Structure 1
Amino acid sequence: MRFFNTEGPVRPDRHYTLPPLSRWNLEEILDLIAQEKYFLLHAPRQTGKTSCLLALMEHLNREGRYRAVYVNIEAAQAAREQVALGLGAVVQAIANAAIWSLDDHTVEPLARELFQSGAPLLVLETFLERWCAGSPKPVVLLLDEVDALIGDTLLSLLRQLRSGYPKRPGAFPQTIVLCGVRDLRDYRIHAGSEREVITGGSAFNIKAKSLRLGDFSAEETRTLLLEHTRETGQVFTPEALDRVWELTQGQPWLVNALAYRACFELRAGRDRTQPITLDLINQAKEQMIVERVTHLDQLAHKLQEPRVRRVIEPMLAGTLPGEVAEDDREYLVDLGLLKRDGSGGLVIANPIYREVLPRALAGGPQDSLPRIEPTWLNPDGSLNPEALLDAFLAFWRQHGEPLLKSAPYHEIAPHLVLMAFLHRVINGGGTLEREYAIGMGRMDLCLRYGALTLGMELKVWRDAAPDPLSEGLEQFDGYLSGLGLDSGWLVIFDRRADQPPIAERTGSVLQTSPQGRSIRVIRA
């Protein structure tokens, strides 16, 4: 039985899969190899890079013009900046891979001889020179996880490959493909007594191209899902197929993880006589986010990096970032956290990431919340919005000030505390959806609990800025219109200096929007 794969390279005999080489322009790659070019492949984690490299190796070896070897050199990361130890690990990894993929045992005595020669700093270049000189066919070397290396170890590897470049193809690999998460220009290498930063691009200026492996298209996403139907007969409803694409935007790991959970873990989905429905996909999504599965947890961990925060914090706040280096912006695109929309602007890559980011940031405030009695529930278990408002106002007056200090992003601290409160409210019985974008000056929330849908808009009143009430009422009309609602909450957080304590300035009034909607304006 085959299944959706979420761990490691795909195996067509075990996993539903798209032909890996169909995701590349194979003709372009073969032309680069024929022209003896060195180039890069980069893409976010768990998008299928390794599967594509392994498929390329098999294709080239089957074709018979080259001897192709795939090598994962991540183990060399453990050497940190011990250059000789790190490059020795790279050579050993290449030798092991040549034995495994080509049954080439000439590499063993060669590597052993070099390790004992007393010239460890040139061991990689010398090894490749001698190995390729004795090879009956040109060698194509596919190096994976190159950006796992750091500092002088990475610098030495790149420079030794550059040094051997003129000797190709007779005494050096005809083509070397460097593969990792980031583009080579973003490899940050510290060198010299002042530890100045140089980039990988300057150490490896022989690269011909930098190729990026993209996400699945809408059609590819559908094709992969329907592999399950062909295998088992279990269908996806049209709404479920559309929802997988909407939530993931084709991110390969998310597509597979959502489908695996819906089809193989949820009890209703394991009944092959029943279709995979929209509700099952939504359940799978919510469980993945709540459990912080590994892929999403790794993503959330990136939020702690200063260069990530410089871009993400203003995006969540709806404000414009200050001077953010292009390298920082492209770094987030390379990570797969952001993508460019049709107009060239930056947006969160997909709705699942859009939910994960603020949830991860609200984790600290949520863990810091005191016990809150669910006074917002009616006797039948439904949510009472008026009681919810009273509970929030009381909570904010009592706990808002100290909880703001526990939020990791100061710019959106009140947003995070409110979301932490709302997550306690829904507690698995509802959902909280978010929308935000650079320059819009707001964050929009949609709380769904049973039959109730409550739309909210969050704005911040900052020093030297006018009261955002009028702008907020006008903007909120558009958001509520999209939700099909005629009422909602407009929450204005007053972050101006020298204001009265939160307990004194928190309150709410009813107002009418420009389009006649009843808006509860909360000032906090």
Structure 2
Amino acid sequence: MRRFCTSGPVDKKTCYYVERPDIMKEALDHIENWRYFTVSAPRQSGKTTLLKDIVEKIKDKYLPIFISFESYGEKGKIEFLRTFVKDINRSLKGLYGKIIDLTIPGSIDDIRNLIEEITEKEGKEIILMIDEFEKFENSKLMNQFLHVIRNIYHDRKIYGLRSVILISVGYLSGILEDNASPFNIAEHLEVPYFTKKQVYDLLNQHETETGQIFEEKVKELIWHNAAGQPGLTNGLAYDLVMKKAKGEKIITEKHFEKTLYDYMRVYIDKNISNIINKAKKEKELMMKILFEPNNIEFNIYDENIKFLYINGVIDNCEGICCVKVPLYYKALYARFKPQINGEKSQMKPFDESIKKYLNKDGSLDLNKLMKRYIEYIKSRGAVMFKGRNYYEGVYQYNLDQFLSLYVEAADGKVYPETQIGGGRIDLLINLNNKEYLIEIKANIDEDQYEKSKKQLKEYIKRKGIKEGWLIIYSNTIKDFEYNLEKENGIKLHIWFIKTNFENPSKI
């Protein structure tokens, strides 16, 4: 019986596998047309699995040679050439069960002779695939190697080197520009994350083979939280099947909540750990992307943005830097959030109960809870806000932490940055099967205020509910204020939160 694989490349015989016909066709078209191209995707995105699948499809017609530069590091010329030939034979042995007697080149330029030798002995055109290409750190030899590939490209039909595919975790443009400016022959192919349909197909394979069913809501949650990232998608499904719901017929939302909790607080997931480690190298920029949403324009020629992008931390969301994968966002949000330790006892005193903020039907009286929040801000605002250049996300985190203390006491959840249709709501409360949408803004002008209301109304309509909350933090207003606006059956609860307080020493 197959399973969800959490490390690649994926073996179709033992793992659930998603076909990717569009990108497969594009790659095969490049090969048929004698194209040399690069392939990029963050780790655990399925690129090596895809390339292995390509090998299987072309091995009878062509001679695919699949090697990795992962351990090449700073190898010198002699060691590089010797290892290169050995890796070629390892690839051929693994695919065809044979080894060719090959001459080890005496120089980098003699790789051309090596290619000719292989073509003549095997009688097939070669497809050379090099994984982890960026791990070859000897820039001088890399430069020479790329020049040889370019020289072969001009006479590729004579050499029989039909296609060269360079594979990496990020765009190779920087490496190619820095090390071999003449290497401008390669096209680029990017391996995307799974689509929603592909995620559901993956989960359906398990249902068909085992009879164990994912609730529809759980499928949606897996898709939403991993955003189709193959490693995370398989990881969440594996944890549900093998740990949280093992032996049970139906995988429920309760099971998923336990899995999500462990991913956020217990497990050391390699995908998330890698994202956090990369983000820490650009901490200042990462803070702005997280806590000044919609303000950092995407520019691939900015080296800091480029670093985060090619390592899968951020993405380009209609010209703005964003974190597309909600699980990554939540992990980064928790890692970089402002520290306000010691505030919990101020937010929710020991003798304060959630019951006073619940209606008889179990629904949350959010406006009553917001009044309690204002009491907290009035008592602590001078400490929390005065003299601090706060990003919008800092206010979001403050409110998030406050609401979570109360909502979680009633077995509810507060979710930051939750996707709704084509956008994201800042906070979403889920309590007793009812959802509450909260949009947060800071120091906005009149035009931005009107735009914010319109945005919240769209989110409310997409969710099919009747009301939402707009919380506006401002350092110019004189006092706290609440407004209620009604339009076409929709209620907007608008709270203005004062942030300009006297220095604590003056109080």
1:445 maps to 427
Specify the alignment match of 1:301 in structure 2. 277
Is structure 2 residue 188 aligned with structure 1 residue 210? yes
Please say if residues 508 and 522 of structure 1, whose CA atoms lie closer than 8 Å, have aligned partners that are also in contact. Answer: yes
CA contact (8 A) 1:90 1:124 kept: no
Among 208, 211, 216, which residue is 1:233 paired with? 211
Partner of 2:480: 508
How many Å separate the matches in 1 of 2:457 and 2:159?
A: 69
Decide which moves more: 137-146 or 451-460: 451-460
| Alpha-carbon offset, residue 335 of structure 1 | 4.8
Indicate yes or no: 2:457 matched with 1:457. no
Deviations 1:302-339 (A, max 9, x none): 33454x97588357523443583457677766555556
Say if 2:472 and 2:494, in contact at 8 Å, map to a contact too: no
* Distance in structure 1 (CA, Å) of the matches to 2:82 and 2:326: 43
- Match status 1:137 vs 2:124: yes
| Deviation sequence 1:276-303 (CA, Å, 0-9, x none) | 2344334433432334622122223333
Aligned to 1:8: 8
Amino acid at match of 1:48: G
Q: Does residue 277 of the first structure (1) align with residue 259 of the second (2)? A: no
Q: Which residue does the alignment assign to 1:194?
A: none
Aligned to 2:473: 492
Deviation at 1:492, TM superposition (A): 0.8
Deviation at 1:399, TM superposition (A): 4.4
Q: Contact 1:336–1:349 (CA<8 Å) still a contact in 2?
A: no
Q: Which residue of 1 aligns with 2:414?
A: 431
Deviation string, structure 1 residues 141-196 (Cα, Å, up to 9, x no partner):
111111333444543332232233345455463321111233332x346xxxxxxx
| Distance of 1:348 and 1:323 partners within structure 2 | 12
Number of residues paired by the alignment? 475
Aligned to 1:375: 349
CA distances 1:131-150 after superposition (whole Å, capped 9, x unpaired): 44544422221111113334
CA distance in 2, matches of 1:211, 1:391: 53
Alignment partner of 1:66 is 2:58:
no
Larger mean CA deviation between 34-43 and 139-148 belongs to 34-43
Q: Distance in 1 between matches of 2:354 and 2:401?
A: 24
Q: What displacement does 1:90 show? A: 4.5
Report the CA distance shift for 1:70/1:327 in structure 2 as closer, same or farther (over 3 A): farther
Q: CA deviation at 1:3?
A: 1.1
Extract unaligned runs of 5+ from structure 1: 190-197, 497-504
Contact kept, 8 Å, 1:139 with 1:169, in 2: the verdict is no
1:179 aligned partner: 167
Equivalent position to 2:74, from 68, 79, 96: 79
Aligned position for 1:160: 148
Indicate which of 103, 106, 128 corresponds to 2:100.
106
SS in 2 for 1:69: strand
TM-score (norm 2): 0.76
Counterpart residue identity of residue 216, structure 1:
F
- Give TM-score scaled by structure 1 length: 0.74
Greater shift after overlay, 485-494 or 417-426?
A: 417-426
1:315–1:398 distance in 2 versus 1, CA, 3 Å: closer
Measure the CA separation in 2 of the matches of 1:345 and 1:95.
46
Deviation at 1:50, TM superposition (A): 1.0
Quote the offset at 1:122 in angstroms.
4.7
1:246–1:351 contact (8 Å) kept in structure 2:
yes
Instruction: Let me know the Cα RMSD of the aligned residues.
Output: 4.3
CA distance in structure 2 between the partners assigned to 1:317 and 1:436 by the alignment: 18
CA distance in 1, matches of 2:191, 2:57: 18
Cα pair distance change 1:353/1:506, threshold 3 Å: farther
| 1:520 corresponds to 2:498 | no
Q: Secondary structure at the match of 1:250?
A: coil
Return closer, same or farther for 1:174/1:486 CA change in 2, 3 Å cut-off. Answer: closer
What secondary structure sits across from 2:353 in the alignment?
coil
Amino acid at match of 1:433: P
Structure 1 residue 16, shift from structure 2 partner = 1.2
